[in-house]
Chain A
Amino acid sequence: MNNNKILEQKINAIGRKVPLMANGQAQIPYMGVGKYRPDGFKHAPRISTCADYPADGNKLVSDLREALIRCGLRNGMTISTHHHFRNGDLIAVQIFDIAHELGIKDLVWFPSASFPCQEVLTKYLEDGTINRIEGSMNGALGKFCSEGKMTGIGVLRSHGGRYQAVQDGEVEIDIAVIAAPTADAFGNANGVNGSAACGLLGFALADSQYADKVIVVTDNLVPFPCIPWQIQGNYVDYTVVVDRVGIPEKIISGTTEVTKSPDRLLLAEMTSQFCVEAGIVKENFSFQAGAGGTALSIGIYFAEY
């Protein structure tokens, strides 16, 4: 098996054995809640100049392949995507199809989450186009990783941890590809308008701010200005128009549906009852329900109080 995955390790503050190096990067063992003190400065992308960008604001190039080539796609780069289309994403797989055609190797895929529609990427993990995934590993991708078949070591982060890692320079994104339901040729983009509207593009915010190169891909190009601009074109290098950027009907997947199971509804009811009795449900309270049918059902019971 993969001997480079047997690493020098240390027991962290919660009793787990963790490595001091992984993927060629030094790692800090967990120290306890709020115990690790960060030091230094945030990561900064290179300074750009308007002299390199069209004065008319038109950053359109012919297709995604052209945009990736112009961004200097090469071996070992870190490529990011967002997951606002959830299981209806149509762009991530295309990126790696193109990279494979170009003979590029050892890429790091840095999605904000992965979904079953991307499981075909296992073939690129197998042939070395992709070295590893730093993001969520769900379904077949998780199984592939768990069986030790991935070349690099996967890295799992929370949504906040992903922003933190980009901000702090732990992950340097070479090329961010942002699928956008509406955009203008300058790169202003949003998720609320267009036939593929997916709501928002917040998971791509860090990518737009910190990546070296940023590509916005849309199927609904509007004249400048694209309002609202959830993503600002001033961060964007190239824009690309495709036939279809995502399938919004596939946003709903497993964990985002309210449960119909009576057992799960009982849990939701007991939870809301607990919140009422413990004094949590009060005027002007606030709550968050996570993904997962039971959690999402809580609102139904809160609504009764």
Chain B
Amino acid sequence: MKARFARGGSNKYLVQMLEEGLVDYILDGQTFDLEGVRSMRENPNHLNTSPFTSYNYHGKGNFATMVDTSILGATEVDLNFNANVVSHSDGLLLHGIGGWQNCLFSKCTILPIPLFRDRIPVIVDQVTTLCGPGELIDVIVTERGIAINPLRQDLIDAMKNSKLPLKTIEQLKNEAEKICGKPSKPVFGDEIVALVKWVDGTVIDVGRRVVS
């Protein structure tokens, strides 16, 4: 099976796929290692792209929506599949958004995440900071089971006979809480310290001052 294109961040593994003919093109936004740099210099099929071509929502289309699947990280996911990528459960802003929001527009967005980190469940009632609306997040993969967004009946149907451990997101959350207990919430002040913009410039959430 051959891929027509892969979107970078490129690394040595993606470069190897390109050189072995497993993927026709890398459409790259940034090189993640020096093999990526070398490949971009030497290989005409390793193309440099920009946020204009790949991600800009106020344009006449962009590449992100044409991608069959994007596989991304998250710090937290809630029962509506809304996800957080900028803060941890302690409320501190610790990551940028990067291309994460833009990639949610792929045809199938999958978040492989551990069910808990340092005994803190990743699936929660409400994410600390909401960065991505659940309607764009299709699948959560954890080591204890896979939850498909109920909005994606087509995927649920396609996986009907699978041997993979398919569960609801509520089941995953309950399993995590059974193991870790319910985590304590951070205490926030009223002050807004940061805005989280959505891809169209509107404000999807804010960061508030962390008191403890």
Contacts and interface: CB of A to CB of B under 8 A. Distances in A.
Contact of B94 (A143, A155, A268): A143
Nearest to A193: B41
Which 7 A-B pairs give the minimum distances between C-beta atoms?
A136-B96, A160-B55, A199-B31, A202-B50, A292-B73, A288-B7, A200-B48
B33 A256 contact: yes
A234 interface: no
Contact of B1 (A14, A162, A294, A305): A305
A128 interface: no
Interface string A277-290: 11111111111111
Interface in A47-85: 83-84
B13 A296 contact: yes
A274 B37 contact: no
A274 B164 contact: yes
- B66, B86, B139, B195 interface centre (most CB from chain A within 10 Å): B195
Given A148-B193, A157-B97, A203 B3 contact: no
Interface stretch (A29-37, A93-101, A102-110): A29-37
Contact of A148 (B110, B155, B209): B209
B202 interface: yes
Contacts of A138: 94-96
Interface of B is mostly: mixed
Interface core residue of B1, B54, B130, B192 (most chain A CB under 10 Å):
B192
Given A274-B110, A277-B159, A286 B67 contact: yes
Nearest to B7: A288
A229 B64 CA distance: 25
A207 to B, nearest CB: 11
Nearest to B50: A202
A68 B84 CA distance: 37
Contacts, number: 386
Contacts of B54: 159-160
Interface residues on B, range: 35 or more
B68 A205 contact: no
Interface string B76-109: 0000001000110001111111111111001110
Given A145-B193, A150-B193, A30 B50 contact: no
A46 B110 CA distance: 43
A300 B162 CA distance: 22
Nearest to A294: B112
B34 interface: yes
Nearest to B36: A199
Contacts of B41: 192-193, 197
Contacts of B174: none
Interface stretch (A16-24, A212-220, A236-244): A16-24
Given A28-B201, A202-B48, 14 more contacts: A30-B198, A36-B200, A146-B193, A154-B195, A156-B97, A159-B102, A160-B102, A161-B57, A199-B37, A252-B33, A278-B158, A280-B107, A286-B67, A298-B112
B100 A158 contact: yes
Interface in A133-187: 135-139, 142-143, 145-148, 150, 153-165, 167-168, 170
A171 B202 CA distance: 13
B28 A160 contact: no
26 contacts: A5-B191, A5-B192, A14-B133, A18-B195, A19-B195, A27-B202, A30-B203, A86-B30, A113-B96, A114-B96, A142-B92, A143-B94, A145-B194, A155-B197, A156-B93, A156-B97, A199-B28, A200-B48, A202-B50, A248-B34, A251-B32, A252-B32, A274-B159, A277-B162, A282-B1, A298-B71
A156 B193 contact: no
Interface string B13-38: 11011001010000011111110110
Interface residues of A, number: 110
A198 interface: yes
B3 A287 contact: yes
Given A16-B206, A30-B198, A300-B13, A291 B143 contact: no
B130 A200 contact: no
A80 to B, nearest CB: 13
Nearest to A112: B51
Contacts of A150: 193
Contacts of B176: none
B11 A256 contact: yes
A198 to B, nearest CB: 6
